[in-house]
Amino acid sequence: MKSLLRTPLAALGLLAFLTNCATTVTEKEKPTVNSQPMAAPVATGATRPDSTGAAATATDARVATPATATPEPGATPTGLPLETVGAPETAAPNTPSATAASAERAKEKKMTAADYRAMLESADSRLKTSPKDPAALLQRAKAKSYLKQYKEAIPDYTAAIKYQRNNPDAYYNRGVNRLMMKQYKAAATDFSGALKYRPDDKESFFGRGVARMQMYQYKPAVTDFTRAIQLDSTYADAWEYRGISYSSFDKLSEARRDLERATKLNPEAAKSLKRYVGNDGHEPIKAAPVAKPGTGYHPRPGYKKPATPPAASTPAQ
């Protein structure tokens, strides 16, 4: 699908849910959801080396465990303790891996409106004979979401989950759909549902982080973006939005570090580096009065903290 992350969103990227998934926040704009929700949140420049020619790693992440590290006993695939992430549960049969799911999302983002309508017709046809088919229900819901019929898609996502409660893709896609509807608390719950059955899905962590940013929960958002970085140290969007989150509670050195790394991975992030850290990241921006949540637009140069959550990329369906 086409880019979500290149345009201002009140919600992810993940979905990006994205021209590949890195977007930056623009000035003087109220966060709005005005893009297609299905592009996969795969960071632009994911394989781009850093300025030294070496591949980017997660060693800069203050709380990140390198994605290649061997998990300690009792740890999940993210390298975090079970009590932190929650013990994964058995997913539905034939559930694709996180890597395969990401590739499928990337493939779907390239489809056309005609393809999505055909996808919808195919699902309708199957549901005439098998009205409780969870795969067909999910397909129809996704098609509706791609066609921006977000409200109409919700009943199909919910039915798909009712008939197959352990399908992480149903939770993930409903989470994206809810991000587009600005239902951030429900979206965060859905991404948690996806992670319950596929705990190594970086895009679900990213999507939940975005939802939390929109609810001013910047510290929990940092945790989610960190987990995404642990799983993919070249995830430019996760570095960028973790940096923005850090800046919101005065962690300017951490914000600078993350935004500089994001800029190496995706030059578009330089806009966020300048906006949230100031003077191209070499000096802190000056403090200024901060509007109460819900009373103003997202941060502009001169603010020390965001007045409202920054427009964030949305994960893809």
pLDDT at 308: 53
Q: Is 202 helix (H, G, I), strand (E, B) or coil?
A: helix
Sign of the CA dihedral running 227, 223, 257, 236: positive
Please list the residues that pair with 13 across neighbouring strands.
Answer: 314
Residue entry with tokens 């977007």 = 23
In the prediction, which pLDDT does 74 show?
A: 37
Give residue-wise pLDDT tens across range 208-263.
999 999 999 999 999 999 999 999 999 999 999 999 999 999 899 999 999 999 99
C-beta contacts of 184-191 below 8 A and 24+ residues apart? 184/11, 184/211, 184/212, 184/214, 184/215, 185/211, 185/215, 187/11, 187/211, 188/212, 188/215
> 102: number of CA atoms within 13 Å, CB side?
23
Beta strands in 31-108 (DSSP E): none
The pLDDT of residue 14 is 43
Three-state SS sequence of 297-316 = CCCCCCCCCCCCCCCCCECC
List alpha helices for the chain, DSSP H.
82-85, 98-108, 113-129, 134-146, 150-163, 168-180, 184-197, 202-214, 218-231, 236-248, 252-265, 270-277
Q: Give pLDDT, residue 313.
A: 60
Residue 45, sorted as left (phi over 0), alpha (psi -120 to 50) or beta, turns out to be left
- Residue 252 to residue 243: CA distance in whole angstroms: 8
Regions in the chain scoring below 50 on pLDDT: 1-85, 280-281, 285-307
pLDDT score for 75: 38
Residue 93's pLDDT is: 78
pLDDT of residue 312: 58
Per-residue model confidence (pLDDT) at position 165: 92
- Model pTM score: 0.69
The whole-number pLDDT of residue 270 equals: 93
Q: What is the pLDDT of residue 11?
A: 38
Q: Compute CA 50 distance to the chain's CA centroid, rounded to the nearest angstrom.
A: 23
Cα 309–chain centre separation: 14
**First vs last C-alpha separation in the chain:** 9
Are the C-beta atoms of residues 102 and 203 closer than 8 Å to each other?
Answer: yes
Residue 81: strand, helix, or coil: strand
In terms of Cα–Cα distance, which of 138, 175, 236, 239 is closest to 12? 175
